[in-house]
Structure 1
Amino acid sequence: MRWLVTGAGGLLGHEVTAALAAEGADAVGLDRRALDVTDPDALAAAFTRHRPGLVVNCAAYTAVEAAEDEEERALLVNGDGPRHLAALCARHGTRLLHLSTDYVFPGDADTPYSEDHPTDPRNAYGRSKRAGERAVLELLPDRGAVVRTAWLHGRHGPNFVRTMTGRARGEGPVDVVADQVGQPTWAADVARLLLALGRTPGARGVFHATNAGRATWYELAREVFRLVGADPGRVRPVSGAAFGGRAPRPPYTVLGHARWQEAGIPPPRPWREALGEALREATGERGAGGSGVPGAPPVPPGQPLQDGDQFGG
């Protein structure tokens, strides 16, 4: 079976294509320049050329703040793109694993959201991702799966954990949002789950691919500082209002993982365990006192930190 990975140039797309290559799978990864998921003709040509048996759609518009002003553009990529893909998959008998987000939920819960909990996004980005979910589930009821993830970190591209390792090497306090609760998630773990899902016959519906447990951005930042040998006391809690963003963030988006067990796939591991392995890998096993992740993007001192355009979605 040939795998086709769209959005292969992004944080998660990199990990999925790397995992497939490591296993010697027959796979093709196409980044945004090679395949625009909003172009039906380009998609049709890609299907004719590569003849995939399974598509992993990692292509997405993830600019949470910008989506408030560009909702039509976000819907084009996150809603129409998956619809075009699902229609082609239905025509060719191809399976589709479509990546979505915790932001489809409003954040008004105090226990983990189940896979079948009603969605009600608070911002334009979440609405655009919900549109893509609906398209996949409607057009591919037997061969489509929606895989929601959140708070991604990894080796490729800017993300919150890389930013924190960069700040840990500096001096002075770091203000981080402390009133949003979610699940820090290692992209490499999501890639492994996607491969397992793709190799499970009949797996369909909605799955939650986040590391287990819960944390605030503040708690995550403190754990990163601790693991790289910096003083966690430098991290200071602030409210989300201090961030000053226009897009409302859901305050609680912890996701449940029951569907993995139903599919016979081991559920995701705890986020602290995954984060520790991610940082050991990124620092070449240098351990405490290491220099953190090379190339972590700079953030102006004094700027409160949370998710956002540069941290994925």
Structure 2
Amino acid sequence: MSAEERRALVFGKNGQLAQELVRTLPAGWSVAAMGREEVDLLDPASVADAIGSVCPNLVINAAAYTAVDKAESEEAEAFALNQKSVEYIAGYLKDHSGCPLIHLSTDFVFDGKQSHPYSASDPTNPLNVYGASKLAGERAIMDVGLPNSLIIRTSWVYSCFGQNFVKTMLRLMADPARHELSVIYDQIGTPTWARSLAEAVWTAGLSLVNGQEDSAPAIFHWSDAGVASWYDFAIAIQELAYEREILKRKIPVKPIPHTDYPLPAARPAFSVMDKSAFERTFDFHTKHWRAQLAAMLDELKIAAEQNS
């Protein structure tokens, strides 16, 4: 099959990653991005119709229930989308297609008790319903045994699209009625620009499609490089946005422990992931999260100026 004939099917088209996947589409590929309007991922027949209509060379599942706190009271809904729909996708691909699958998962499958970066083989122990439901989705792929499938765990994703930590901080910092901001300092992870994640996904996807032999399902980690607390992240957002005149002023940002900002869902205290296996396998390397944040803010400023 020639490169010109290659097609990708992306589930979760309205999410941050899916929008970046469309924007970073490799040469010689077309993409069909589907959301709730096009496919009901909780209906096996709808999943089958969607995949069958596209006849893809690669499926990327970026659809997920991601409302971490809301999942604590909507456990059934979280598991339905994060586990059952994954089972339907993987099952159809194994029985009818043989097409490779890349499925996105999360650092929240870990409990955060480790003090060094998590490798893909480290024991999982999610602290909340969201993490448990995403882990169940991973296990669904493993149980189906879909060859040439990859699970990519990522963390703290942000972009110019949708709602995310960066855009929330910018909104709060720009609020003239707000003169101070408190941000949690004792939860450590790595911010990840959805653009770099999309490029990593495509790199892995092309490797899968070009592979000559079936391989067992595998799990990899990908985020941007470096380490940060939510407080560190917020400080960087304000500094870089102020430099770019996205923010017209600076306000004090106060570090607080997570106990001062209780949320329904517990979070891991440490969820930095080891990306070295991904880098070795696919010859694709991370960039520091602060540089990626600067690039995203540059893009955000350009978009704002074009729309003004």
TM-score, length basis structure 2: 0.88
Alignment partner of 1:235 is 2:253: yes
Q: Deviations over 1:158-188 (max 9, x none)?
A: 1000111222323410111111001010000
Q: Tell me if the contact between 2:190 and 2:272 (Cα under 8 Å) persists in the aligned partners.
A: yes
1: distance between equivalents of 2:23 and 2:241? 25
Percent identity of equivalent pairs: 34
1: distance between equivalents of 2:229 and 2:255? 10
Specify the alignment match of 2:9 in structure 1.
4
Specify the alignment match of 1:74 in structure 2.
78
Match of 1:26 among 15, 23, 30: 30
Q: Deviations over 1:265-290 (max 9, x none)?
A: 222211011111111111129xxxxx
Specify the alignment match of 2:232 in structure 1.
219
Amino acid at match of 1:124: V
Specify the alignment match of 1:186 in structure 2.
193
Specify the alignment match of 1:303 in structure 2.
none
Q: Tell me if the contact between 1:222 and 1:233 (Cα under 8 Å) persists in the aligned partners.
A: no
1: distance between equivalents of 2:65 and 2:282? 31
Amino acid at match of 1:154: S
Q: Deviations over 1:86-114 (max 9, x none)?
A: 11111211100000000000000110000
Report the 3-state secondary structure (helix = DSSP H, G, I; strand = E; otherwise coil) of the residue aligned with 1:36.
Answer: coil
Specify the alignment match of 1:299 in structure 2.
none
Specify the alignment match of 1:304 in structure 2.
none
Q: Tell me if the contact between 1:99 and 1:147 (Cα under 8 Å) persists in the aligned partners.
A: yes
Q: CA deviation at 1:24?
A: 5.3
Specify the alignment match of 2:207 in structure 1.
200
2: distance between equivalents of 1:30 and 1:218? 35
1: distance between equivalents of 2:59 and 2:282? 21
- Equivalent pairs counted in the alignment come to 289
Q: What RMSD in Å do the two structures reach over aligned CA positions?
A: 2.1
Match of 1:253 among 263, 268, 271: 271
Q: 1:232/1:255 Cα in 2 relative to 1: closer, same or farther (>3 Å)?
A: farther
Specify the alignment match of 1:131 in structure 2.
136
Report the 3-state secondary structure (helix = DSSP H, G, I; strand = E; otherwise coil) of the residue aligned with 2:66.
Answer: coil
Report the 3-state secondary structure (helix = DSSP H, G, I; strand = E; otherwise coil) of the residue aligned with 2:302.
Answer: coil
Q: Tell me if the contact between 2:106 and 2:155 (Cα under 8 Å) persists in the aligned partners.
A: yes
Q: Deviations over 1:168-212 (max 9, x none)?
A: 323410111111001010000000001100001348511112111
Report the 3-state secondary structure (helix = DSSP H, G, I; strand = E; otherwise coil) of the residue aligned with 1:48.
Answer: helix
Gaps of 5+ in 2: 1-5
User: 1:102-113 to 2 correspondence within 5 Å?
Assistant: 102-113=107-118
Q: Tell me if the contact between 2:9 and 2:59 (Cα under 8 Å) persists in the aligned partners.
A: yes
TM-score, length basis structure 1: 0.87
Q: Which range moved further: 204-213 or 40-49?
A: 204-213
Specify the alignment match of 1:281 in structure 2.
299
Alignment partner of 1:120 is 2:106: no
2: distance between equivalents of 1:126 and 1:66? 12
Q: CA deviation at 1:239?
A: 1.6
Gaps of 5+ in 1: 286-290, 296-313
2: distance between equivalents of 1:105 and 1:141? 24
Q: Tell me if the contact between 2:94 and 2:147 (Cα under 8 Å) persists in the aligned partners.
A: no
1: distance between equivalents of 2:35 and 2:24? 16
Alignment partner of 1:63 is 2:67: yes
Alignment partner of 1:53 is 2:57: yes
Q: 1:223/1:194 Cα in 2 relative to 1: closer, same or farther (>3 Å)?
A: same
Alignment partner of 1:39 is 2:43: yes
Q: Tell me if the contact between 1:141 and 1:205 (Cα under 8 Å) persists in the aligned partners.
A: no
